[in-house]
Amino acid sequence: MIVVMNDDRVTDVEAYLPYARGFAADAVKSDDGCISMEVLVDPGTEGRVLYLSHFESEEAFRKHAEGPTFRKWLPELGKYFISAEDHIFEVR
């Protein structure tokens, strides 16, 4: 199992959050190997939203990142998107 921390910067956290939460719920429901996904807001950094996700494998995460759920939500999420960085950790 892996844990992925996706560190996003967005222009408007409050407007972004409903889409981020919908995306997270859809990913857990629809994407093979996506065990869980939480949306977190950093109160100390303006515009910072984190996704904390558990995947069965890095391959499952890569398929998710290139898959239909991501593409489905990208138009709405992209309205607020500035940048993102993924951090992948193995659970041992």
Label residue 5 by pLDDT band (50, 70, 90): very high
pLDDT of residue 45: 97
The mean pLDDT of 79-90, rounded to a whole number, is 97
Number of domains in the chain: 1
Q: What range does the domain containing 59 cover?
A: 2-90
Q: What is the CATH number of the domain that holds 63?
A: 3.30.70.100
Residues 38-75: tens digit of each pLDDT: 999 999 999 999 999 999 999 999 999 999 999 999 99
Q: What gap in Å lies between CA 33 and CA 76, rounded to an integer?
A: 24
Segment 63-69 long-range contacts (CB within 8 Å, at least 24 positions apart) = 63/31, 63/32, 63/33, 64/27, 64/31, 64/33, 64/34, 67/31, 68/30, 69/23, 69/26, 69/27, 69/30, 69/31
Q: Structure pTM?
A: 0.94
